[in-house]
């Protein structure tokens, strides 16, 4: 029998509740530099919808408006996200971005950011694949 997506999601939540697994806490991060209002909104919605579809609890929105060439560690919003992930007592385990382009502009740096998150027991995920740039 084929289950609808809604039925499957409901069953997944029941299994999680029965197992004691709590939904992951996440922060949503994006860099809005050079984006118009419509693009900003679309990217925010994409990140939020990505988290909501997985029943992740959004703990905080972090937004930078810096040149994309700026290394993530030099961005105020990313610094806050990093502190949250590195805090062993935090319930937040993940960072959700509209695109990995929000984190770094090369595939190598994007991979390094994901590896960093994993090394702290967390994760970094994107609503779209790297290189797509938007929330399509």
CATH assignment of the domain containing 78: 3.40.50.1390
Identify whether 7 is part of a domain: no
Task: Give the model's confidence band at 24: pLDDT under 50 very low, under 70 low, under 90 confident, else very high.
Answer: confident
What would the mean pLDDT of 28-47 be, rounded to a whole number?
94
Task: Give the model's confidence band at 8: pLDDT under 50 very low, under 70 low, under 90 confident, else very high.
Answer: low
Task: Give the model's confidence band at 92: pLDDT under 50 very low, under 70 low, under 90 confident, else very high.
Answer: very high
pLDDT for res 13: 58
- Residue 134, pLDDT > 50, answer no
Identify whether 48 is part of a domain: yes
* pLDDT, greater one: 10 or 39: 39
Identify whether 59 is part of a domain: yes
Tokens standing for residue 72: 């993530």
| Domain span at 89 | 21-126
Identify whether 4 is part of a domain: no
Q: Name 26's Cβ contacts closer than 8 Å, sequence gap at least 6.
A: 51, 56, 57, 58, 59, 92, 93, 94, 95, 96
Contact 119, 111 (CB under 8 A): no
In angstroms, rounded to a whole number, what is the distance separating the alpha carbons of residues 52 and 127?
11
What would the mean pLDDT of 58-67 be, rounded to a whole number?
96
Identify whether 68 is part of a domain: yes
- Residue 105, pLDDT > 70, answer yes
Identify whether 54 is part of a domain: yes
Identify whether 108 is part of a domain: yes
Number of structural domains (the chain) is 1
- What's the angle, vertex CA 79, arms to CA 52 and CA 136, rounded to 5? 40
pLDDT per residue as tens digits for the range 63-72: 999 998 999 9
Identify whether 11 is part of a domain: no
């Amino acid at each position: 029998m084929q289950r609808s997506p809604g039925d499957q999601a409901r069953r997944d939540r029941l299994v999680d509740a029965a197992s004691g697994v709590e939904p992951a806490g996440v922060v949503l991060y994006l860099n809005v530099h050079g984006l118009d209002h419509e693009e900003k909104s679309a990217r925010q919605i994409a990140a939020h919808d990505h988290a909501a579809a997985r029943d992740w609890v959004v703990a905080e929105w972090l937004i930078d408006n810096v040149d994309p060439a700026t290394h993530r560690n030099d961005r105020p919003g990313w610094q806050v996200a990093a502190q949250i992930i590195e805090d062993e007592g935090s319930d937040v385990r993940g960072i959700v971005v509209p695109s990995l382009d929000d984190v770094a502009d090369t595939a190598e740096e994007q991979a390094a950011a994901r590896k960093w998150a994993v090394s702290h027991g967390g994760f970094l995920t994107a609503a779209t694949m790297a290189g797509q740039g938007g929330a399509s």
